[in-house]
Amino acid sequence: MQILVISDTHGRYDILQQVLLSHADCDLFVHCGDGQYETDRFLAEHPEYAPKLIRVRGNCDHDPAIPLAYTLPLPYGHKALIVHGHRYISGDFPQNLVETAKADGADLVLFGHIHMRMDRSTDGIRLFNPGSAAQPRDQFGPSFGLVDVLEAGLLTSHGELARTPAPFDDMFGW
């Protein structure tokens, strides 16, 4: 099973659509928040993808029908906890995510919010952040993630995106 993970698209429908359609063969798409409006538009234009798109609500999303957290059973006994991350940053981060995952019985946490890539294991919990597809805050460019769920374990990677100006940037010469 292959899962495409994306987060923090912040209104960049062009980026979201490009990434999802170019990875249409993935089994699932996970959006880790701050992408409500562009995921709404994507689902309206591509309803056939609705069964394989999972999303959680970020701090910039406003639809209470989108859950704050989602638990996803995976093959081979794995389980993913999907959150945006904004409720876990204060205090002992990332240990807050680790403890929440343990309490939920998850061995993988997919999260966003910090706009920085992360891929680490702590106390048997894999923490994976795809980075921001629109506004990265680390030394890397815009990105997304892939998680392959294999019998041998979880294989994660980050995919690079070209830096592209927002559509309105061209209007103003920015």
pLDDT tier at 168, thresholds 50, 70, 90:
low
Q: What is the pLDDT of residue 173?
A: 41
Closest C-alpha to 133, from 156, 155, 115, 109 = 115
Contact 152, 27 (CB under 8 A): no
Single out the residue of 77, 156, 75 nearest to residue 111, CA to CA. Answer: 156
CATH 3.10.20.70 for domain 2-162: no
162 pLDDT tier (thresholds 50, 70, 90): confident
Q: What is the pLDDT of residues 20-67, one digit of tens each?
A: 999 999 999 999 999 999 999 999 999 999 999 999 999 999 999 999
**Sequence-distant (≥ 6) Cβ neighbours of residue 122 within 8 angstroms:** 94, 95, 98
Give yes or no for a contact between 157 and 144, defined as CB atoms under 8 angstroms apart.
Answer: no
Cα–Cα distance measured from residue 122 to residue 160, given in angstroms and rounded to the nearest whole number: 25
Give dist(CA 34, CA 37) in Å, integer: 9
| Domain assignments of the chain as residue spans, ordered by start | 2-162
Q: Quick one: tokens of 66?
A: 């989108």
Per-residue pLDDT for 167 more than 80? no
Distance, in Å, from the CA atom of 136 to the CA atom of 129, rounded to the nearest integer, reads 12
Residue-wise pLDDT for 4-14, tens only, equals 999 999 999 99
| Global confidence as pTM | 0.93
Q: Which two tokens stand for residue 145?
A: 């993630």
- Measured CA to CA, the distance from residue 93 to residue 119 in angstroms comes to 14
Model pLDDT for residues 89-147, shown as the tens digit of each residue = 877 888 999 999 999 999 999 999 999 999 999 999 999 999 999 999 999 999 999 99
Residue 174 has pLDDT above 90, yes or no: no
Helical segments of the chain, H only = 13-22, 36-45, 95-104, 167-172
How is residue 81 annotated by DSSP? Answer: E
Give residue 164's pLDDT.
75
Examine the pLDDT at 165 and tell me if it is beyond 80.
Answer: no
